[in-house]
Amino acid sequence: MTDQDDIVTTTISRQRRRGCGITFDKALQIFSSLLIPLLLSVFTIVIAVYQQKVANDNRIADSAIVREQKRQDQNASEAQRNFDRILRDLQRKTDQQAFKLQREQDRNITILQRETDSISNTAQRKQKLNLTETNFFVNQQQKQQDLMVADNIKQEQILGRSNILLRTFIVHIQIEYGQG
């Protein structure tokens, strides 16, 4: 074979390798040119999918946090309502007891005042009666004047002692009921 035959064989073999008019070198060059954008596209898609998964996970986590926060807020609100109700009930009971004690104290003061007025009125009636009797006897019997004067002095001492006892009784009652 000659050189010309070699050239023809080489040309034919290159044409066979060309297939659709593209040589292997050209195909390799086109493939390498397309490979970088293709890899970048695949990488971009993978990152986008991963970011979407992360965003989804974050949404789920945020949703769980919101639910937990809402549950805690509801529990705190319920606890506050319970505390307020207990405090209100305690205040109501305290007020009722204070009102009851005030009514009892007012009743005791009224009873004590009535008793004191009754004792005072009785003492005044006795004193008036004694004075009336004394005047009657003085007008009726001049003889018994000295005797009556002594009797009056004695009665005044008794009344004085009664008044002292009455005042002591009143002070004692006032101290006992917290007014002294």
Contact 48, 41 (CB under 8 A): no
* Between 36 and 22, the higher pLDDT residue: 36
Instruction: Report residue 83 as tokens.
Output: 């505390």
List the domain boundaries for the chain: 3-176
* Between 140 and 18, the higher pLDDT residue: 140
- Among 2-6, 26-30, 133-137, the minimum mean pLDDT is found in 2-6
Query: In which band, very low, low, confident or very high, does the pLDDT at 18 lie, cut at 50, 70 and 90?
Result: very low
Q: Stretch 70-80: mean pLDDT, rounded?
A: 94
The answer on pLDDT for 72 being more than 90 is: yes
Express each pLDDT in 115-167 by its tens digit. Answer: 888 888 888 888 888 888 777 765 666 665 666 677 777 777 777 777 787 77
The average confidence (pLDDT) of the chain is 82
Instruction: Report residue 171 as tokens.
Output: 């002070």
Contact 111, 179 (CB under 8 A): no
* Between 144 and 45, the higher pLDDT residue: 45
pLDDT score of 172? 78
Contact 106, 176 (CB under 8 A): no
Q: What is the length of the chain?
A: 180
